[in-house]
Chain A
Amino acid sequence: MKNTKPKVLVVDDDYAGLEFLVISLEILNYNVIKATCVDEAQKTILDAGIDTFDCVLTDYRMPGKSGLDLLDWLMSQDDSLSTIIATAEGEKTLVQRSLRSGAIDFLEKPVNRTLLKNAIAKGIELTAKKRSQKLLNQGIKEAGKMRQIFAGVDSTIGSLFNYFLHPLSDVGGDFINTLHLSNNKYLLILGDVSGHDIRAAFISAYFQGLMRGLCSKETPIEEIASSFNDILNKEWSTPDSSNLSATRSSLCFLSALIDLDKNNISLINCGLPEAYITYNSGNTYCHKNGYSPLGWIENEDFKSENLSTKDLSSILAFSDGALDLAQKLNVHTLSLCYYLLYTQSDSSIIKESKDDILAARFQINTSQDSSSSPHPIIFETIPGNEFQIIDIYMEKWSNSLKLIFSNKLNNLDDILMGCREVTLFSLMQICGRKSTQFTVFQLIYFSKNNTITILIEDSDYNETDLNLKQNHIQAKQEAISLITDFCHSTSVNDQTGQIILNFKLDFNTENQLLIKNDKD
């Protein structure tokens, strides 16, 4: 029958001292194994297996190898096994050294029975804790390896898809998954599960497996979301739910089911930041329709939004970690995404992040590649009253362009001047400085031609008073005529009232920006 008593190895060359310790510990109901020297202790441990021992108590002074030699050896074999050193009175230096080397405690000889009892109990408890933590860490590492297997990015999607994923830990957090469902049908899933432990790893893998399996059988994504929401909700509504510190899980995800044959994208976003959808012209909009993360709200009625792919160029999505990092760097999140997806000449900026970072872009227009398609770099919706803080925006825009173009733009000041003038005009003259009126500022980069287009849109877009709209358009034309010297070309769309400025990028080196089309 297996001995279930905690197993303690006692090592002492002094027979009387050894017997005293053995008897004292046996009375305390421990399974005590004895050795009279370090070599014998090592052999005993190797024969029985180090993980069968719960604590080691060793004398320091022994002929040949000392207790510290045994401690060093034990630490190299299994640093979770607690070791206690018994020393003669007054050996302070030795005590300090043994504690530094990993001993958990020391006992002065002659050993006091109460102190012995407490030290051994503490040692056994610590060994159990360390071993349990070790097992957990090992499990997390294994789960991390499994994540690499489950979290698939289908290689057949190839150049249509670019992504950047920087996980902070082995498991949990952000994930990305793609599925090539048929010839021209793709599923893209970005997600973020709360926590970075085995529970998070399990939820993440289960969700991704469920999505891949059910989507390949054409189950509607709404049904999958609803079913998974029910699963997570059960945990939130347990009798333990009044306990604030009880761990509960939530899962954010954005899925895009892209069917190029049917010219349709089916989008659903549960708790991730808004996706940005860009047209072939460069015009971009922020897709705001969304739900809470799965787990938060019971019986949520999920509905995907269907968009036509006609004239669409790309879709860009990212996790909240990208938002945080962009704020920290004082750049626009879209600029950061572009940097992470295509340039990334300096990876040290990632170290600033306290969260996972995920960014992904899907090329919807298959006749373009990432170099010939437009890239939104800045997208801001600015209330009219924020004309007063235009310089705060300017600083962020300047940092954004410097990040992407590595400080190599000769005409950066011209571009910024153009941005400032037209934005101020729109905020002050069209929005009337009102907090309820908005100017949408877009800066789009066309890497193939090395040009930047700035688009300024305001309430004129939906203005029904045609006389007012015409007056505004005329005023805008006059305003941009003052900055034509800075720009390659300027115009005002007479249908939408949108101001358009084009800049040809002027680099101060012969090398233009290198674009990395494919992820390694």
Chain B
Amino acid sequence: MIKTSFIESSKKLLIKFESDLLSTKLEEYSRIIQLAIDQHQNIQLLDIDLNTIDMMDSLGLNLLVNLAKLSSRKKIKAKLYVTDPTIHRVLMFSRMDKVIEIGYGEEVI
């Protein structure tokens, strides 16, 4: 599942992935995220929480890149949070760090 919440004081949208980021769920995830972004026109920060996922496939990675590019176009500062070493390794060898800031082992505030 996926949860979104908006913190008015910091204009931060938090997207928390609570299950694996796999191609089978992407349509649903995209719809929920799109809705959250459209609902809040004044987002300044976007935190993407991957701290509880165990698996991610290539289409899942593409969704994150898509989200990073969308944030960049809207001048939103985006950051990925990850604690699982394997997920972090996937993000590093695919050079996701060139697309979006990654916080490894950091808690989402």
A residues with a Cβ closer than 8 A to B are: 192-196, 236, 241-245, 248-250, 252, 269, 271-274, 288, 290-293, 296-297, 320, 323-324, 327, 354-355
Partner of A194, one of B55, B62, B86, B95: B62
Residue B45, interface by CB 8 Å:
no
Contacts of B23 in A (CB 8 A): 195-196
In the bound complex, what is the Cα–Cα distance between A252 and B65 (angstroms)?
14
Known A-B contacts A194-B59, A290-B95; the reply to A245 vs B90 at CB < 8 A is: no
Partner of B89, one of A194, A196, A323, A354: A323
Task: List which B6-47 residues lie within 8 A (CB) of chain A.
Answer: 22-23, 26-27, 30-31, 33-34
Chain B interface, number of residues (Cβ within 8 angstroms)? 30
Q: Evaluate contact between A244 and B22: CB separation under 8 angstroms.
A: no
CB distance from A31 to the nearest CB of B (A): 36
CB distance from A103 to the nearest CB of B (A): 30
Q: Evaluate contact between B94 and A293: CB separation under 8 angstroms.
A: yes
Q: Chain B residue with minimal CB distance to A194?
A: B58
CB distance from B102 to the nearest CB of A (A): 13
Q: Evaluate contact between B27 and A245: CB separation under 8 angstroms.
A: yes
In the bound complex, what is the Cα–Cα distance between A291 and B65 (angstroms)?
14
CB distance from A225 to the nearest CB of B (A): 14
Residue B76, interface by CB 8 Å:
no
Known A-B contacts A241-B69, A242-B73, A296-B99; the reply to A323 vs B59 at CB < 8 A is: no
In the bound complex, what is the Cα–Cα distance between A196 and B95 (angstroms)?
23
Known A-B contacts A252-B94, A292-B94; the reply to A297 vs B34 at CB < 8 A is: no
Q: Evaluate contact between B55 and A244: CB separation under 8 angstroms.
A: no
Task: List which B43-78 residues lie within 8 A (CB) of chain A.
Answer: 55, 57-59, 61-63, 65-67, 69-70, 73
Q: Evaluate contact between B95 and A195: CB separation under 8 angstroms.
A: no
CB distance from B103 to the nearest CB of A (A): 16
Known A-B contacts A195-B23, A244-B30; the reply to A250 vs B58 at CB < 8 A is: yes
Contacts of A195 in B (CB 8 A): 23, 58-59
Known A-B contacts A244-B70, A252-B94, A292-B98; the reply to A324 vs B62 at CB < 8 A is: no
Task: List which B74-92 residues lie within 8 A (CB) of chain A.
Answer: 86, 89-90
Q: Evaluate contact between A272 and B93: CB separation under 8 angstroms.
A: yes
Q: Chain B residue with minimal CB distance to A323?
A: B86
CB distance from A244 to the nearest CB of B (A): 4
Contacts of B69 in A (CB 8 A): 236, 241
Inter-chain contact count A-B, CB under 8 Å? 80
Summarize A's interface: helix, strand, loop or mixed. Answer: loop
Contacts of B90 in A (CB 8 A): 273, 320, 323
Q: Evaluate contact between B26 and A245: CB separation under 8 angstroms.
A: yes
In the bound complex, what is the Cα–Cα distance between A345 and B30 (angstroms)?
42
Residue B108, interface by CB 8 Å:
no
Q: Evaluate contact between A296 and B27: CB separation under 8 angstroms.
A: no
Contacts of A196 in B (CB 8 A): 23
CB distance from A191 to the nearest CB of B (A): 11
Q: In the complex, which of the residues B26, B33, B65, B67 has the most CB atoms of chain A within 10 Å of its own CB atom?
A: B65
In the bound complex, what is the Cα–Cα distance between A245 and B63 (angstroms)?
8
In the bound complex, what is the Cα–Cα distance between A324 and B89 (angstroms)?
11
Q: Evaluate contact between B62 and A292: CB separation under 8 angstroms.
A: no
Q: Evaluate contact between A273 and B62: CB separation under 8 angstroms.
A: no
Contacts of B65 in A (CB 8 A): 250, 296
Q: Evaluate contact between B93 and A297: CB separation under 8 angstroms.
A: no
Contacts of A252 in B (CB 8 A): 58, 94
Partner of A292, one of B31, B70, B86, B96: B96
Known A-B contacts A272-B93, A291-B95; the reply to A250 vs B73 at CB < 8 A is: no
Known A-B contacts A195-B23, A242-B73; the reply to A290 vs B93 at CB < 8 A is: yes
In the bound complex, what is the Cα–Cα distance between A255 and B6 (angstroms)?
44
Contacts of A193 in B (CB 8 A): 58
Contacts of B73 in A (CB 8 A): 241-242
Q: Chain A residue with minimal CB distance to B55?
A: A324
Q: Chain B residue with minimal CB distance to A195?
A: B59
CB distance from A21 to the nearest CB of B (A): 39
Contacts of B93 in A (CB 8 A): 269, 271-274, 288, 290
Contacts of A269 in B (CB 8 A): 93
In the bound complex, what is the Cα–Cα distance between A323 and B84 (angstroms)?
13
What are 17 A-B residue pairs whose CB atoms fall within 8 Å in the complex?
A194-B59, A194-B62, A195-B58, A241-B69, A241-B70, A242-B70, A243-B34, A244-B34, A249-B62, A250-B58, A252-B58, A271-B93, A290-B95, A292-B96, A293-B94, A296-B65, A354-B57
CB distance from B16 to the nearest CB of A (A): 16
Q: Which 9 A-B pairs have the closest CB atoms?
A: A245-B30, A194-B58, A244-B30, A292-B95, A271-B94, A327-B86, A244-B34, A273-B93, A194-B59
Q: Chain A residue with minimal CB distance to B58?
A: A194
Known A-B contacts A241-B69, A323-B90, A324-B86; the reply to A271 vs B62 at CB < 8 A is: no
Contacts of A272 in B (CB 8 A): 93
CB distance from A293 to the nearest CB of B (A): 6
Contacts of B34 in A (CB 8 A): 243-245
Q: Chain B residue with minimal CB distance to A236?
A: B69
Q: Chain B residue with minimal CB distance to A245?
A: B30
